[in-house]
């Protein structure tokens, strides 16, 4: 939304530049997860100071971090599709993301059950 006031200028530049394929700009709000650090500056600080093993560390809220944690691409896509696109920033409970991961994995991963203390 911060670039919305610049939309007329952006459109003018795109119209007056000679380009084969004109780019399309779409504004959308940020999705925040509860109990999760989402600030790019703070995440970068964690990586640079060595608190995590990199951007793909399973503790990081990045796509590669979620993938290393075991989240499937289908579960992430379903989660985002269910949220939809909005111009306002929103906060979503992390339990909702985990729900879609469980729903996806229950169809793909075989389960076993055993008795520990008979």
Q: Quote the domain boundaries for residue 103.
A: 29-107
pLDDT digit string, tens, across residues 48-94: 999 999 999 999 999 999 999 999 999 999 999 999 888 888 899 99
Residue 44 is classified by DSSP as H
pLDDT digit string, tens, across residues 8-57: 888 888 889 888 888 887 778 888 999 999 999 999 999 999 999 999 99
Compute CA 71 distance to the chain's CA centroid, rounded to the nearest angstrom. 12
Query: What angle is formed at CA 20 by the lines to CA 16 and CA 26, rounded to 5 degrees?
Result: 75
CB atoms within 10 A of CB 111: 6
Q: How far is the C-alpha of 25 from the C-alpha of 3, rounded, in Å? A: 10
Q: Residue 3: pLDDT above 80?
A: no
With respect to residue 51, please indicate whether it lies within any of the assigned structural domains: yes
With respect to residue 4, please indicate whether it lies within any of the assigned structural domains: no
With respect to residue 64, please indicate whether it lies within any of the assigned structural domains: yes
Structural domain count of the chain: 1
Contact predicate 62/56, CB 8 Å: yes
Contact predicate 79/100, CB 8 Å: yes
With respect to residue 99, please indicate whether it lies within any of the assigned structural domains: yes
With respect to residue 5, please indicate whether it lies within any of the assigned structural domains: no
The CATH number of whichever domain residue 83 belongs to comes to 1.10.1160.10
pTM score above 0.85: no
């Amino acid at each position: 939304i911060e670039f919305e006031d610049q939309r007329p200028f952006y459109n003018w530049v795109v119209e007056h530049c000679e380009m084969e394929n004109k780019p399309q700009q779409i504004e959308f709000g940020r999705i925040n997860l509860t109990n999760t650090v989402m600030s790019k500056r703070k995440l970068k600080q964690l990586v640079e100071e060595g608190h995590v093993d990199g951007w793909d560390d399973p503790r990081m809220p990045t796509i590669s971090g979620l993938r290393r944690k075991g989240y499937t691409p289908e579960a992430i896509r379903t989660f985002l599709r269910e949220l939809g696109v909005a111009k306002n920033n929103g906060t979503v409970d992390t339990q909702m993301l985990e729900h879609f991961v469980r729903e996806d994995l229950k169809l793909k991963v075989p389960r076993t059950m055993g008795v520990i203390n008979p």
